[in-house]
Structure 1
Amino acid sequence: MSGLRGRIANLGWIRPIGSGPQVLADDAAGDPPSDSSPEKPAPKPDSKPSGKPKNPFGDSRPPRSDGPRNPWLPGADGKPTGPEGPRRSASIEDIFRGRTNRGGPGGGGGPGMGGGLPRFPTRPGGGSWLPVAIAAVVLLWVGSSTVHFIKPQDKGVVATFGSYTRTLGPGMAFTLPWPIQTVKVRDVTSIRRDSIPEGDGERLMLTSDQNLVDISYLVRWNIKDLKLFTYQLADPEQTVREVAEAAMRQSIAEETLAGVMGGGRALIESNMRTRMQAVLDAYRAGVKIQGVEIKKTDPPEKVKDAFKEVSAAQQDAQSSVNRAQAWAQQLTASAQGEAAAFDKVYGQYKLAPEVTKRRLYYETMERVLSQTDKVIIEAPGTVPYLPLPQMKTTQPPADAATTGVK
């Protein structure tokens, strides 16, 4: 520090912007200036001043008074002035001394002063609260990372330094504190539902008869083995979706368009579920497929109207075929019944031909005459018979004007 003072002292007097001299910090403390200073001495006080004082720029313009005054400008006596008298450059000791004096007791600075660290409050007995606070933080950390409460529908896997250790069931469990051991808790009983595709997107697949179909479906699954689900695959949820899409494409490729749009959905869902479970078991994903549900099977959007017209025509044709088949079945049943009755009569005819002929004649006449009016012709000389009951039923009722009934 003394060497720095010497080098600063050797610099000599430094003249500021104004005409007055500037005194360094070491000089103000009592160090005399060097004899080798090249600066000229200040003018004597009894020297005759000029008519107009010169400003710092060397001309005779008066200094401005409408702004902040330069503290280095000379005053009335020709010396630089400031709030506390002649200004001087601050030394390194002054800078550090000022920063130290800003703080309160104990070296800590007050609010907003930019000093040292704040002092920790003390207990009434005189001790510090810092050990108590540290102990509370440690207890909170140990309690939150060693005691675990597992819900009934959940399970947890414990990892020691990232390596699997054991599986925790429902209830309260204890582990070593973090970061020695960590616990990952997952719901293993709830059914997860993945809708493919997400939103209103279009998912086109090719059928066995080279037709495109837009299909959307739902996959239901849950976690079967939490250890495999957590550590075997990097992203098991995305793996389930990709396996579902591959299985659906394979199942659709084995069916025709009519089967996909009609009654082949149940078979497709069953085949897809079997394929998905086999692939996920091979991956050791720890997932169980609960079911697959096809929600929509439509033609592509560009040909939907034409496909609807074709479907309507096919339905009309199928309806006509169904009606014709029903009529044919009815005629066949009637003919089979008549043939069976004829075979029965033929058996009786073999036993008694004359009796069978007469019975058939009477049955035929009864069936024919029952549909016609009866006409009876009697012999001459007999009183004619008037069928009064039939006449009453066939004649219209008499009008009120002819009967005289009001």
Structure 2
Amino acid sequence: MAWNEPGNNGKDRDPWGNSGKSNQTPPDLDKVFRNLMQKLGGLTGGRRPGGDINGVGITVVLMIALVAWVISGFYTIKEAERGVVLRFGKFYESVEPGLRWKATFIDHVIPVDVESVRSLPAAGFVLTRDENVVRVEMDVQYRIADARKYLFSVTNADDSLSQATDSALRYVVGHNTMDDVLTRGREKVRQDTWQELEDTIEPYDMGIVVVDVNFLPARPPEEVKDAFDDAISAQEDEERFIREAEAYAREVEPKARGQVKRLEEEALAYKEQTVLKATGEVARFNELLPQYQAAPDLTRQRIYLETMEEIYSKANKVLVDLPQGSNSMIYLPLDKLTPPAAQGGRAAPATAGANSQLPVRSSSSGEQASDTVGLDSAPLRSSERTVGRY
């Protein structure tokens, strides 16, 4: 038997909670909502006739919501940051460090660090001008100069900088030989890459400033690494030899210049001495010529005596006094008569006998004679031996 059929003794009820009488209808929805609103109005200050919410309660709720909205709008920009304010998703203004306020749900603030130096690595295999493949690595250090341009000039400034770095690196390495990239041309490659990178990103105006570019050691492919290690070692030896040669040149050149200067001064002094001596001889001859023309024999004899006097004054002399009628032989010690400088620098003089002594025989005449043998520092020859009698 169904619940709404007669005969269930009135114990069954309909879904609305009413007794099973045929004359009852479902409850009114407006009445249910009205009762709910009255309960809420009691919580916020009672209700007015007719069931409406009190205006004071609504005002309190609105005030609380307004205070919460105002408080939620305060924010702080750090010293190393700059803030970019977006209003309804569009750029509105840039803000400096400090305590700021924004309209919540209307404005959106993006803080950007503009003082920290960021690092962007780049690496890859690159083909050089001489058609060799090298692995190059580079580290680009940069910082943000303009927060607005960094966020809105391009879609992703960091990604754009990475692509520009790869492009600049491949361009520069492709215009250099493998030897330059691996050894002595590394600094030039670094400078050229830096300049090329700045030229590439300049038209995009991304608000980025490149601080430094570090060109890490490049490596050849593993297949030829040993050969390139030998080449680098040989180049280092070459540079070491060059430095040693330059050091030796710096040591020897001043000495050579000093010797050249000394020889030049000695040559000039000898030249002046010779010229002055020749001038003096000419003057002496000019003075002597009239005397010679007046008395040739007397002048000739006087010149001879003066010449012999000058010669004998510079030569060693030995005076031997032989007794009258003596026929003995005397040996002169030539090695004792010769100066030490002449002995060491010249050949031994002509000698007579095993003891290197010059024999002097006595005169056959009956008169007592003194033989004088003159020896100079040069080796004696037969034509140079002079025996004088006084």
* TM-score, normalised via structure 2 length: 0.54
Q: Does 1:168 align with 2:95?
A: yes
Offset, 1:345: 2.3
Give the Cα separation in 1 of the matches to 2:247 and 2:113: 56
Match of 1:293?
A: 214
Note closer, same or farther for the CA distance 1:332–1:176 as it changes in structure 2 (3 Å cut): closer
Offset, 1:328: 6.7
Note closer, same or farther for the CA distance 1:216–1:161 as it changes in structure 2 (3 Å cut): same
Identity across the alignment (%): 22
2:3 pairs with one of 25, 28, 37:
25
Note closer, same or farther for the CA distance 1:171–1:326 as it changes in structure 2 (3 Å cut): closer
Match of 2:114?
A: 188
Aligned pairs for 1:307-318 (under 5 A) are 307-318=228-239
Match of 2:198?
A: 277
1:156 pairs with one of 83, 86, 91:
83
Higher helix share: 2
* Counterpart code for 2:68: L
Match of 1:35?
A: none
Match of 1:234?
A: 155
Q: Which piece of structure 1 moves more, 149-158 or 233-242?
A: 149-158
* Counterpart code for 1:276: L
Match of 1:248?
A: 169
Note closer, same or farther for the CA distance 1:189–1:261 as it changes in structure 2 (3 Å cut): same
* Counterpart code for 1:164: F
Note closer, same or farther for the CA distance 1:278–1:328 as it changes in structure 2 (3 Å cut): closer
Q: How many pairs were matched up? A: 258
Q: Deviations over 1:120-177 (max 9, x none)?
A: 8x8798899x966775455323422x33322221111222222222111112333333
Offset, 1:319: 4.1
Give the Cα separation in 1 of the matches to 2:224 and 2:66: 69
Give the Cα separation in 2 of the matches to 1:206 and 1:192: 28
Q: Does 1:267 align with 2:194?
A: no
* Counterpart code for 2:140: V
Whether the 8 Å contact between 2:134 and 2:178 is mirrored in structure 1 is yes
Structure with the greater alpha carbon radius of gyration:
2
Match of 1:7?
A: none
1:141 pairs with one of 69, 72, 87:
69
Q: Which piece of structure 1 moves more, 252-261 or 332-341?
A: 332-341
Q: Does 1:348 align with 2:269?
A: yes
Gaps spanning 5+ residues in structure 1: where? 1-22, 32-87, 99-106, 108-115, 198-202, 357-364, 370-376, 380-406
Match of 2:378?
A: none
* Counterpart code for 1:139: V
* Counterpart code for 1:310: A
Offset, 1:259: 2.7
Give the Cα separation in 2 of the matches to 1:228 and 1:321: 52
Note closer, same or farther for the CA distance 1:195–1:153 as it changes in structure 2 (3 Å cut): same
Note closer, same or farther for the CA distance 1:251–1:97 as it changes in structure 2 (3 Å cut): farther
Note closer, same or farther for the CA distance 1:318–1:149 as it changes in structure 2 (3 Å cut): closer
Give the Cα separation in 2 of the matches to 1:231 and 1:321: 55
Give the Cα separation in 1 of the matches to 2:90 and 2:170: 38
Secondary structure at 1:234's aligned position in 2?
coil
* Counterpart code for 1:348: A
Gaps spanning 5+ residues in structure 2: where? 19-31, 48-52, 278-340, 346-354, 358-390
RMSD (CA atoms): 4.3
2:145 pairs with one of 224, 240, 246:
224
Secondary structure at 2:4's aligned position in 1?
helix
Give the Cα separation in 1 of the matches to 2:247 and 2:83: 64
Give the Cα separation in 1 of the matches to 2:236 and 2:184: 14
Q: Which piece of structure 1 moves more, 335-344 or 252-261?
A: 335-344
Q: Deviations over 1:30-83 (max 9, x none)?
A: 49xxxxxxxxxxxxxxxxxxxxxxxxxxxxxxxxxxxxxxxxxxxxxxxxxxxx
Give the Cα separation in 2 of the matches to 1:303 and 1:167: 55
Secondary structure at 1:307's aligned position in 2?
helix
Offset, 1:186: 1.0
Secondary structure at 1:185's aligned position in 2?
strand
* Counterpart code for 1:239: S
Note closer, same or farther for the CA distance 1:263–1:134 as it changes in structure 2 (3 Å cut): farther
Higher strand share: 2
Give the Cα separation in 1 of the matches to 2:229 and 2:202: 41
Match of 1:212?
A: 133
